[in-house]
Amino acid sequence: MKRATFLSYLVAGTVLTLVGAGCKHPQTPVTPIPAAKTIRVPGPSNPVVNNAGGNVNPGTAGTVAPPENPNANQVKNVAAGGGQEGSLADIEGMTPDTNHFAGQTVHFDFDSFVVKTSEHANVEAVGDELKAKPEDKLMIDGHCDERGTEEYNRALGERRALALREYLVRYGVAPDRVFTRSFGKDMPVDPGHNEDAWAKNRRGEFILLLPKQ
């Protein structure tokens, strides 16, 4: 202990001699630090640019026109289970009705995208209406419970929506009328942290898209 104290005095003394109290050693090199660069932040009305075509969607206060997919024509949709034939441009301007199929919300088991037999009647009711209303289209929102990480749930929610889409297509609904998107665990209907809440949150919701008036 004494030795350590002595050493630290010695070191301190040495450095004091070298550095000097409060004044720099003449040979200490000075490294300049660059000033922080400005970060530019788009406002809520700023446009988002289309990379490929160079089209700029005019920004208007409060709303921004959804951008076109710059690469829409470059890739064919091919995969087991059928690709998404529709383009988001096809449903632009349609009016979503979130209440219409509220009674047909489909629920899933934990970590599963299997459409259970008990849910078939709900999906078929949606399919029957779509067949009867050829002008309408459908958005399916996939949701998850809070277990599992965020991006895992985002993918799982999409897989659930797609499972419902596959069912409807097999049931006879034209594939270019049915769209999907996932909200992962971002929009629970029940904020609880128990199995009751989780069971309600693992769901697929059908949103009727009404044609432009």
Partner 1 sequence: MKPAFFMIRSLLATTVLVCLAAALGADDEHLTITAEATATQPPIPITLVGYTGEAESVLRFDLYVAGFKLVGGNESPQYELKGANNGQVEGRLTDAINKTVKFAKAFSGGTTRSQAHALADAVVQAVTGVAGIAGGKIAFKVQRNGTTGPGEVYVADYDGHNATAVTHDNAIVADPCWIPGRRALIYNTYKFGNPDIIMHDLSTGARSVVARYAGSNISPAASPDGRHVAMILSKGGSPDVYVANIDGSGLRQLTHTPEDESSPCWSPDGRWICFATRMEHRRVLAKISVDGGAVRRITANLGINPTEPDWSPDGKQIAFTSQAGKYFRICVVPAQGGDARILADGQDPAWAANSRTLIFNRMVGGRSVLSLLDVPTKQNKDVPLTIGNCSQPSWAK
Cβ proximity to partner 1, 133 vs 193, nearer residue = 193
Beta carbons of 155 and 131 less than 8 angstroms apart: no
Q: Lay out the site mask for partner 1 across 145-164 (x = CB under 8 A, - = otherwise).
A: -xxxxxxx-xxxxxx--x--
Q: Is 98 an interacting residue with respect to partner 1 (CB under 8 A)?
A: no
93 binds partner 1 (CB under 8 A): no
Q: Mention every residue, 6+ apart, whose C-beta is less than 8 A from residue 78.
A: none
CB 203 within 8 A of CB 105: yes
**Min dist. Cβ of residue 125 to partner 1 (A):** 24
Residue 26 within binding range of partner 1, rule CB under 8 A: no
Piece of the chain touching partner 1 by CB under 8 A; list 101-109, 116-124, 130-138, 185-193? 185-193
Residue at token pair 């309600």 = 200
The correct pick among 28, 99, 117, 213 for binding partner 1 (CB under 8 A) is 28
Minimum CB separation of residue 107 from partner 1 in Å reads: 18
Closest-CA residue to 155 (of 181, 177, 175): 181
Beta bridge partners of 60: 63
Region binding partner 1 by CB under 8 A among candidate stretches 80-88, 101-109, 122-130: 80-88
The answer to the question of residue 24 lying near partner 1 (CB under 8 A) is: yes
> Rounded CA gap, 5 and 45, in Å?
64
Q: Which of 49, 44, 41, 46 is nearest to 59 (CA)?
A: 46
3-state secondary structure of 71: coil
Stretch touching partner 1 by CB under 8 A, among 44-52, 101-109, 116-124, 129-137: 44-52
- Alpha-carbon Rg of the chain, whole angstroms? 29
* Helix, strand or coil, per DSSP, at residue 97: strand
192 sits near partner 1 (criterion: CB under 8 A) = no
How many chain residues touch partner 1 (CB under 8 A)? 88
Phi and psi (nearest 5°) for 13?
A: -60, -45
- Reading the block at residue 121, the tokens are 């009647």
Nearest approach, Cβ of residue 91 and partner 1 (Å): 9
The verdict on 84 binding partner 1 (CB under 8 A) reads: yes
Q: Among the candidate windows 100-108, 114-122, 126-134, 186-194, which touches partner 1 by CB under 8 A? A: 186-194
Minimum distance from residue 83 beta carbon to partner 1 (Å): 5
